Structure 1
Amino acid sequence: MITFGEIKSGISYTWRPGVYGIILKKEENLVALIDTGAGKYFLPGGGIEENESHEECLIREGKEEMGKLLELGEWIGKAQQYFYSKKDSAYYQVQGDFYFAKIVGDTEEPTEPDHYLRWLETGEAVSKIFHDHQRWALQKALAMIENKEQRI
């Protein structure tokens, strides 16, 4: 598995598995990101709760973060990152499973405060994603699409 971030000796990291969706509007060259209002952008998704499947996690996160019903698509890959969260004052080892996803409907208003759905051009999105493992996943997804289109 590909790993990002520096592992600091003597630090106890909290392991946090998660699921993230890459939602594209290919014809417009746009990708959905979550803007936290603090200049940080993330892929839609988040931590898996107890006994949740990957699909259940992404559906829940889509409702919470965007007020959208998401459908899980093709698996893109898995990566992890070690980092320190200033917000939580904690060290994390996050492991993400990344999937293509699509919006298939609306739900109620998002329940997570300060989370806003933004559509960014793919190149801009790559440069603005906060976590390296999420940036890697978006770049891999875009390469997968390009390879498929070249084979047609």
Structure 2
Amino acid sequence: MIRRFGSPPESGRVYTLRHGAYAILPLGDQVLLTHQSQPYPEFQLPGGGIEPGESPLHALHREVIEETGWTIAAPRRLGAFRRFTFMPDYDIWAEKLCTIYVARPIRRLHDPTEPGHSAIWMPFALAVDALGNPGDQHFLAQF
């Protein structure tokens, strides 16, 4: 059974299953996060949805580059969690199945290309509380 974080599913609401891959990217005593400005400001673990036909690891590399501008190496799966949420960019209610990895940030190629995203290095001591969802917080705290 995969642990759920956040609000339970609402009775009678239809949810679309969305698989995603997300990364904890440590470097020294800091971790690389992404800050998403829209639809509301939020710090997140870099990552996102796995496209049809795409492998989770390919999605992880793609999403990290889009949201932070950094390349990564040696991703290792830590676990997964579910959360039920509205996704305004897609106008859907989603059951997000979030797989969490830890990886090594290698090189900054450029600024984030994902609109509204900024790459932020944050001390671990601050990052857990700064993250916008309890699943991300749980995995970063466990790491």
TM-score by length of 2: 0.87
1:32 and 1:119 in contact (8 A); partners too: yes
Q: Secondary structure at the match of 1:118?
A: strand
Question: C-alpha displacement at 1:86, in angstroms?
Answer: 4.9
1:22 and 1:100 in contact (8 A); partners too: yes
Question: C-alpha displacement at 1:140, in angstroms?
Answer: 1.9
Match of 2:139 among 137, 140, 144: 137
Question: C-alpha displacement at 1:57, in angstroms?
Answer: 0.6
Q: CA RMSD in A?
A: 1.7
Give 1:148's aligned residue: none
Q: Report whether the alignment pairs 1:50 with 2:52.
A: yes
Give 1:103's aligned residue: 105
Task: Name the aligned partner's letter for residue 53 of structure 2.
Answer: N
Q: Secondary structure at the match of 1:2?
A: coil
Give 1:35's aligned residue: 35
CA distance in 2, matches of 1:17, 1:72: 21
CA distance in 2, matches of 1:56, 1:108: 19
Percent same amino acid at aligned positions?
27
Task: Name the aligned partner's letter for residue 18 of structure 2.
Answer: R
Cα pair distance change 1:72/1:47, threshold 3 Å? farther
Give 1:128's aligned residue: 130
Question: C-alpha displacement at 1:99, in angstroms?
Answer: 0.8
CA distance in 1, matches of 2:96, 2:77: 18
Superimposed CA distance per residue, residues 35-87 of structure 1 (whole angstroms, 9 cap, x where no aligned partner): 11343011011000112112201111122111211224221111111123455
Cα pair distance change 1:121/1:48, threshold 3 Å? same
Question: C-alpha displacement at 1:125, in angstroms?
Answer: 1.1
Larger radius of gyration: 1
Q: Which 5+ residue runs of structure 2 have no aligned equivalent?
A: none
CA distance in 1, matches of 2:89, 2:51: 20
CA distance in 1, matches of 2:59, 2:9: 27
Question: C-alpha displacement at 1:88, in angstroms?
Answer: 4.8
Question: C-alpha displacement at 1:101, in angstroms?
Answer: 0.9
